[in-house]
Amino acid sequence: MSRDDVIVQVKDLKKYFPVTMGILIQRQVGAVRAVDGVSFDIYQGETLGLVGESGCGKTTAGRTILHLYKPTAGQVIFDGIDLTSLKSEELRHMRRRMQMIFQDPFASLNSRWTISRIIGEPLRVHKIASSSEQIERIQQLLHLVHLNPRFINRYPHEFSGGQRQRIGIARALASNAEFIVCDEPISALDVSIQAQVVNLLEDLQEQLELTYLFIAHDLSMVRHICSRVAVMYLGKIVELASKNELYDHPLHPYTIALLSAVPVPDPSVERQRKRIVLEGDVPSPTDPPPGCYFNTRCPHVMEVCCEEEPLWRDMGGAHFVACHKV
């Protein structure tokens, strides 16, 4: 893929949440570094996977890219336009082209609204179609996500978890979005339903030429659906490569430890594998360690790891890693 194919550029993106003390007069005493200097590109038509432990900042990164959270610093450039420089009205027009599928299909749908109102909300906000045309468009979207168009006047509680997630997908597609952030869209679903939703996302991507940022912690599913994978730890990207390169030749100790936990279907291979168990807990994002953030848990830690932050380097073949050892 060439630089011309880039649809989203994330440059040194940071999102800090203030930590305050006091009751009547509050003062800031620190900050939670949820996203701490993240940079990567997303190419037109690809699915970039973003993986890591719970609490590493994956969801915050996705929401900050879409400006659901205002960035503390850095740039997000979508189709050549710097979103961080836009005023609220200009950003609202850009949001028509960028949408999100949320993790929890039970919490992300308004229980008091009918399906017609939920899916039609983007159409009304962006004034995409007249009232009569909106009904037709909503029915088309329901058909697109394999739901019966006659369900249009039902409420979310009348659907299963998998059906609710399909409604969330239909809502994301309503405004003809080009770029969609999928925030762990299958983690709250039964295993039997997960494959159906993933297959639906793949079919929609091919039909509508969509671009995905797929946030997940299921590494097996990420390898199935994604073309490239970025590994995140404590608010930073530590490794980025194509899926086959990352899974077959991981370089960062954290990536190696993550992949060692992925089960292999072949029992003979599984018995020969060595599981790497990381000691200790993830440091607090309010007080990360100096140098490499992973140095408190890394099995190969060196003196330089505790003093200097590792550089982001291309190891060849668009395989990037931030590690002193490598």
Q: What is the pLDDT of residue 26?
A: 86
Q: What CATH number is attached to the domain comprising 301? A: 3.40.50.300
Asked whether residue 307 is assigned to any structural domain, the reply reads yes
Residue 216 has pLDDT above 60, yes or no: yes
Number of domains in the chain: 1
The confidence band for 2, taking pLDDT boundaries of 50, 70 and 90, is: very low
The confidence band for 128, taking pLDDT boundaries of 50, 70 and 90, is: confident
At a CB cut-off of 8 Å and minimum separation 6, what does 320 contact? 239, 240, 241, 312, 313, 314
Cα gap 40→48, rounded to integer Å: 10
Cα gap 326→252, rounded to integer Å: 7
Helix, strand or coil, per DSSP, at residue 144: helix
Quote the mean pLDDT of the chain.
91
> What predicted TM-score, i.e. pTM, was given to this entire model?
0.91
Q: What is the pLDDT of residue 69?
A: 94
Q: What is the pLDDT of residue 269?
A: 67
Residue 3 has pLDDT above 60, yes or no: no
Asked whether residue 197 is assigned to any structural domain, the reply reads yes
**Which range (7-16, 61-70, 86-95, 140-149) has the least confidence?**
86-95
Q: What is the pLDDT of residue 155?
A: 95
Largest CA distance in the chain: 67
Q: Long-range contacts made by residues 18-24, C-beta under 8 angstroms, separation at least 24? A: 19/286
Asked whether residue 173 is assigned to any structural domain, the reply reads no
Cα gap 64→240, rounded to integer Å: 19
Asked whether residue 182 is assigned to any structural domain, the reply reads yes
Asked whether residue 166 is assigned to any structural domain, the reply reads no
Q: What is the pLDDT of residue 67?
A: 94
Cα gap 89→81, rounded to integer Å: 14
Q: Tell me the torsion sign for CA atoms 102, 169, 230, 270.
A: positive
Tell me: the pLDDT tens digits for 162-211?
Answer: 999 999 999 999 999 999 999 999 988 888 899 999 999 999 999 999 99
**Domain of 230, in residue numbers:** 3-97+178-321
Asked whether residue 187 is assigned to any structural domain, the reply reads yes
Average pLDDT over residues 248-263: 89
Q: What is the pLDDT of residue 181?
A: 97
Q: What is the pLDDT of residue 270?
A: 65
Asked whether residue 167 is assigned to any structural domain, the reply reads no
Tell me: the pLDDT tens digits for 275-324?
Answer: 787 887 888 999 999 999 999 999 888 999 999 999 999 998 899 999 99
Burial of 275 from C-beta contacts in 10 A (0-12 / 13-18 / 19+): exposed
Report percent pLDDT > 70 for the chain.
98
Asked whether residue 110 is assigned to any structural domain, the reply reads no
Residue 1 has pLDDT above 50, yes or no: no
